[in-house]
Amino acid sequence: MQNRKLGSSDLEVSALGLGCMGMSWSYSPIPDRNEMISLLRAAVERGITFFDTAEVYGPYTNEELLGEALAPFRGRVVIATKFGWAPGSEGETRWTRLNSQPEHIKHVVEGSLKRLRVDAIDLYYQHRVDPEVPIEDVAGAVKELIRQGKVKHLGLSEAAANTIRRAHAVQQVAALQSEYSLWYREPEKQILPTLEELGIGFVPFSPLGKGFLTGKIDENTTFDSSDFRNMVPRFNTENRKANQALVDLLQNIATKKNATPSQIALAWLLAQKPWIVPIPGTTKPHRLEENIGAAAIELTTDDLNDIEGAAAQITVQGSRYPEQLERMSNR
């Protein structure tokens, strides 16, 4: 596994990271904890050094999982986590309220440090931009945590280009984490040029389209009742049927390369910029191996042109999020 630097920062990580949300939250059924500990440790041994979590995943349980699993590898791995959500009313388990007030950030970082079992958080993302708090105040709060040695680098997630610029003027932003893949290419319009100009790394989440680009999901697939994809418009039956054309494209390229659709989707992302580090998530050892294999696939200029030409003929159907979540993006 080769390493990549996230922009002009000194944060060097494996070319592919591991998104850990599904190990504790959101996808169902939730896998066995001990199996996930084994998977995380196997990822390190296979060369992955970049792991992504958040306090809201669980909540808290995902950070605790990584804290235990990665404790033997301190100094060898980079752990990114996120702040910016808060519990709702008393007794409510869902975290539906944003809170990036500086005092809140300075409070919750202590819990993340304890759960992750680290002295400093390698990369601390604002999970979603909070319209009630100027981004300069958010960046300033994290800057203070960096000064105190509790955080090493600031990150943003799903932020708009102007917001990124404003935060970066206060404290260097090491990385932006936002959705990007062959079935969601909105970042190409403004985000990627801004990141390149400012020297900020890009960490695409959902690089496999929440599993759709693996080719293992079709119009007949049923999800567990608690699986969040049930409320994602892009995953309704009609849209899955329409979007199969994109999977067929990946399969055609994969056949020529003796690869899988997942590997081509990840290799395509890696080929876009040398400072892009996708974080596919998985809970299965064989999928981990498959994803790692993508880092060894080289797509030629002709391959990339073929993918671009074919993708241009496909219009992806359905929103990537329910409306209330989509409103939290790109602001």
* Other CB atoms within 10 Å distance of the CB of residue 12: 12
Instruction: Provide the β-strand partners of residue 178.
Output: 204
Tell me which of 27, 57, 125, 184 is the catalytic residue. Answer: 57
Distances from the Cα of 181 to the Cα of 59, 267, 268, 277, angstroms: 27, 11, 8, 12
Task: Tell me the DSSP string of 123-145.
Answer: EEEESS--TTS-HHHHHHHHHHH
| DSSP H or E stretch at residue 164 | helix 161-170
Task: Using alpha carbons, select from 212, 242, 249 the residue that is nearest to residue 316.
Answer: 242
Around 60, how many Cα atoms within 13 Å sit in the side-chain half-sphere? Answer: 11
HSE-up (13 A, CA, CB side) for residue 58: 19
DSSP 207-222: TTGGGGGGT---TT--
CB 79 within 8 A of CB 40: no
φ and ψ at residue 116, rounded to 5 degrees? -80, -15
Burial (CB count within 10 angstroms: exposed 0-12, middle 13-18, buried 19+), residue 251:
middle
The whole-angstrom separation of Cα 122 and Cα 125 is 10
Query: Do strands 154-157 and 123-126 pair parallel, antiparallel, or not at all (unpaired)?
Result: parallel
For residue 184, indicate whether it is catalytic.
no
| Locus of tokens 């059924």 | 29
What does DSSP say about strands 3-5 and 12-14: parallel, antiparallel, or unpaired? antiparallel
DSSP code string of 65-76: HHHHHTGGGTTT
Catalytic machinery residues:
57
